[in-house]
Structure 1
Amino acid sequence: MPFIALPYIIRIVGGENYGLIAFVQTVVSYFSIIINFGLDVSAVKDVAILRNDKEQLSQLVSSVLCIKFFLWIFSSFILITCCLVFDVFRSNVLLIFFAYLSCFSDILFPVWYFQGIERMKYITFVRFFSILFYTISIFIFIHSSDDYIFIPLLQSLGMLLSGFISIYLLLVVEKIHLSFVSYSNMKAYFLASIPFFISRLSLLINAGIAKIICGIFFSMQSVAAFDIAQKIANVAFIPLQMINQSVYPHLARIRDRQFARKCFGFMCVCSSVVTLFIYIFAPLGIAFFAGEELTEAVGILRILCVFVFCGGISLYLGTPLLVAFGYPRPFNVSVIGSTFVLIVIYLLLYYLDLFTVQTFALVLGITELFIVLYRLYYCLKYKILYYNAT
């Protein structure tokens, strides 16, 4: 959801209904991961290699779209089964259906293709159109708490319209011709995307499992409080991500360990400043976005400061250091390992009867701390952070 519409949505539909929407959208995001299956990462390189060969490129695009379509059918069967078996799904089937419509745009919107041919302006235009359509529609059609059910529908419609625009750009402007594809080609592309799928799934489990459990064991009000706190925490990452994105190409090119160590100290300071800012202004931020509706989110956001601080450091230790210096494996393993840590902690909390929204926020910080320690160990092992390393 665009931040510009968030305060309006919470005030109009209320915390309970907003929490239900957040719960449903979190569930649907797992199906989106299945449909994309890492192809939105693995296919970028293939497109970049084949960009000057229209025939081969058309075969690649056809294969990826075909795989995604079959995965969408598979996901639809799983979702229908869940709606028949679980009460929480069955009682909100229309809301889930409206949210799930957005998953079809995962087929239609070939971000991976536009990235591969370096037509980033297409991605910017299409995403801007989707956000603009959704934001305007919210203010036009959402006027009472009973209208909450239409919020995921409006979001899905915006994404579907953007998807159809993308298909037009793909087939008409880029002149890609869809054709029948061989099973062997589809299998090869599918298998190549598995590592990226696992990594993406791990990240999504880390980010979304707390809201799923809150929706099952607690109330949708708790989901809303956790969601709004998590959204603000994620926004805090934006300046840290921008710093990492600017440093990464330079480090990848020169691999200067002395510069890397100086940047590490700088990132620690930046993470500390951002974390302190979030902690101090947490009440103001929650009041702005949620009013008096979700005051419990203040405590959750302050606990998430551990996540923000560790996350800022883990970002730098990941792509700008480990990947840039040629060690991608510890980078990927740290993400997957953190998911195992998270699941083990959740099982312990359940066994010890310590399930609370606050402990869920703390678990996010602990898993991010695990990533920091794991990546830092390998940065020291490979002497990336040493001045006179050879």
Structure 2
Amino acid sequence: MNSFSRNTMYSLLNQFITVSIPLITFPYVSRVLGPENYGTVNFAISIITLFAIFGGIGLVGYATREIAKYRDNIEKLSKAFLELFLIQLFLTICVFVIYLLFIFYSKEVNTNLNLFLIVGFTLFTNLFTFHWFFMGIENFKYITTRDAIVKVFFVILIFSFINDKNDNVLYVFLNLTSLILSALLNCWFLIKKIKIKPYKLVFRHHLKPVTLALIMSFISTLTIQLNSVLLGSIAAKENLGYYNVGLKLATMIVNIISSGLLVMLPRLSYLNSKDDTNGQVNIMKKTSSVLMFFSIPASIGLFLYSKQIILLLFGENYISAIIVSQITAICLIIMPLTGILYNYIYSNNKEHLAIITMIISLIVSISINFLLVPKYLFIGAAISFVVVELVKLIIYIFFMNRLNKEMSIYSHRYIKYFLISTFTLVIPYLVINPSNGLMTTISMILSVCSYFLLLFILRDPFCLVLFNGLKTRLSKE
């Protein structure tokens, strides 16, 4: 197994852990806290997310790209790390001061000051994640191991201490505790990978790309978080709870499917530094086809089974979240494709194209949000989210065609996956008409088995790879 495949496997495992843990804690916490208190927590998180961009989170893409360039030279690698870390430290301190002023003088925050203050300290834990460094050197094994340890610790804390609807402040404190543990592990492991000594640090050449990276990340995050911020500001907090439950269900699945994209950025950046265009083309085409192999049936499945999943995991209090989940199900197809195109554009130093895309998307987001959210609340926010993601994809496709037509991510296999998915998922659903947990499970298993069996009969190359891989594993055992 080559390094790219191995890292993809670790990335997939990491995303499985990242999603499976919330599937354990998310339903429990949302039930215990209730729509209103859970909505308040999400409102605080949406606010700090915007501040965190300027605190250094917005540098992850650029920092990953820079580390990937120098991973074969320990001296240059260490020097680049120190420069990027000191930049992030300076930004974090500045942003934290501004955040403190915001929460102390904001009327919206005053009633939940302790909660917002605790959430604010995550700015400093973000400083020590060093996710960009480990991604840049393509050490996905460590990332996966670290996340598994921290998330299991977090689960234990949640089930041990969260048992009342007024535990929302305690919940964010426990989250902060788990992030501190992650930071300690990162510092311990990082020391083994770099050389700390008095380098002649130069920051000037970082100024322009850092500024562009922060602008890009802020616009992108504002576009995504605008729905939550606006909804949380003008409507009762339970509306935000419905929106976040429905949306998170879709985005968690997207994160699993798109796990390979985490591997793409450092690999594409490395290939770009070697002028290996053919290598980039191969990765782009292969990754897009593999993602659609899973994304298309997952999107149709989420639309069909949203009601059963939400009632099972979150209960009757979140029945209004069903429509949000069904609306955003199409994003399981849109967002992975957008991620592929963004990674290619960014890894090839075409940040200006990404900025143009994000500015247009932000304008569309502001327009649609102020048009739909005040009238349709969480349903309007869900529609806005989908439209903005679709706009991003269309613009990226336009730029991709102008840069390099060989980089097309479209394949005739997409039509095949859609037709087979529709046949193997919709028919069992209509015939069985699942009304309880057992019938839902039977219907899902039948659909999944039928999908893979039909593709195997048609000799689909990715299905054959999965089958042969499974066959090899079983034969070894």
TM-score range normalised by the length of the shorter chain: 0.7 to 0.9
Instruction: Output the amino acid matched with 1:354.
Output: K
Structure 1, 293-302 or 1-10: larger mean CA deviation? 1-10
| CA drift at 1:336 | 3.6
Give unpaired runs (5+ residues) of structure 1: none
Give unpaired runs (5+ residues) of structure 2: 1-20, 269-276, 411-477
SS of residue matched to 2:317: coil
8 Å Cα contact 1:304-1:364 kept in structure 2: yes
Instruction: Output the amino acid matched with 1:72.
Output: T
Q: Are 2:379 and 1:358 equivalent residues in the alignment? A: yes
Structure 1, 54-63 or 217-226: larger mean CA deviation? 54-63
Instruction: Output the amino acid matched with 2:196.
Output: H
| CA drift at 1:138 | 0.4
Instruction: Output the amino acid matched with 2:243.
Output: F
Instruction: Output the amino acid matched with 1:160.
Output: I
The match for 1:200 among 203, 214, 217 is 217
**Which residues in structure 2 correspond to 1:1-390 (within 5 Å)?**
2-36=22-56, 38-51=58-71, 54-171=74-191, 173-174=192-193, 176-177=195-196, 185-238=202-255, 240-241=257-258, 253=279, 255=281, 260=285, 271-319=295-343, 330=353, 333-349=356-372, 354=375, 356-381=377-402, 382-384=404-406, 385=408
8 Å Cα contact 2:146-2:182 kept in structure 1: yes
8 Å Cα contact 2:67-2:137 kept in structure 1: yes
8 Å Cα contact 1:38-1:195 kept in structure 2: no
Cα distance change of structure 1 residues 304 and 141 upon mapping to structure 2, 3 Å threshold: same
8 Å Cα contact 2:216-2:354 kept in structure 1: no
Structure 1, 199-208 or 173-182: larger mean CA deviation? 173-182
SS of residue matched to 1:354: helix
| CA drift at 1:63 | 2.5
1:69 & 1:292 partners in 2: Cα distance? 45
Structure 1, 98-107 or 264-273: larger mean CA deviation? 264-273
Instruction: Output the amino acid matched with 1:208.
Output: Q
1:243 & 1:105 partners in 2: Cα distance? 25
| CA drift at 1:347 | 3.9
| CA drift at 1:84 | 2.5
| CA drift at 1:112 | 2.0
8 Å Cα contact 1:317-1:379 kept in structure 2: yes
Structure 1, 37-46 or 298-307: larger mean CA deviation? 37-46
2:295 & 2:278 partners in 1: Cα distance? 22
SS of residue matched to 1:356: helix
Structure 1, 111-120 or 378-387: larger mean CA deviation? 378-387
Q: For each residue in 1:25-55, what CA deviation from the matched residue of structure 2 results, as whole angstroms up to 9, or x when unmatched?
A: 1211122221115432222343344446555
1:254 & 1:25 partners in 2: Cα distance? 36
Instruction: Output the amino acid matched with 1:14.
Output: G
Instruction: Output the amino acid matched with 2:231.
Output: C
Instruction: Output the amino acid matched with 1:131.
Output: K
8 Å Cα contact 1:380-1:386 kept in structure 2: no
SS of residue matched to 2:138: coil
Cα distance change of structure 1 residues 276 and 200 upon mapping to structure 2, 3 Å threshold: same
SS of residue matched to 1:145: coil
Q: TM-score, normalised by structure 2?
A: 0.70
SS of residue matched to 1:152: helix
8 Å Cα contact 1:62-1:179 kept in structure 2: no
2:70 & 2:401 partners in 1: Cα distance? 38
2:73 & 2:47 partners in 1: Cα distance? 39
| CA drift at 1:166 | 1.2
Structure 1, 328-337 or 11-20: larger mean CA deviation? 328-337
| CA drift at 1:90 | 1.7
2:138 & 2:331 partners in 1: Cα distance? 33
| CA drift at 1:155 | 0.7
Instruction: Output the amino acid matched with 1:290.
Output: F
Instruction: Output the amino acid matched with 1:361.
Output: A
8 Å Cα contact 2:66-2:136 kept in structure 1: yes
Instruction: Output the amino acid matched with 2:398.
Output: Y
| CA drift at 1:256 | 6.8
SS of residue matched to 1:2: helix
Instruction: Output the amino acid matched with 2:61.
Output: V
Cα distance change of structure 1 residues 195 and 289 upon mapping to structure 2, 3 Å threshold: farther
Cα distance change of structure 1 residues 152 and 102 upon mapping to structure 2, 3 Å threshold: same
8 Å Cα contact 1:58-1:179 kept in structure 2: no
8 Å Cα contact 1:98-1:152 kept in structure 2: yes
| CA drift at 1:342 | 0.9
8 Å Cα contact 2:338-2:396 kept in structure 1: yes
8 Å Cα contact 2:122-2:176 kept in structure 1: yes
Structure 1, 248-257 or 125-134: larger mean CA deviation? 248-257
Q: TM-score, normalised by structure 1?
A: 0.84
1:386 & 1:20 partners in 2: Cα distance? 40
| CA drift at 1:316 | 4.9
SS of residue matched to 1:214: helix
Q: For each residue in 1:131-152, what CA deviation from the matched residue of structure 2 results, as whole angstroms up to 9, or x when unmatched?
A: 1221110011112122221111
Cα distance change of structure 1 residues 348 and 38 upon mapping to structure 2, 3 Å threshold: same
8 Å Cα contact 2:104-2:113 kept in structure 1: no
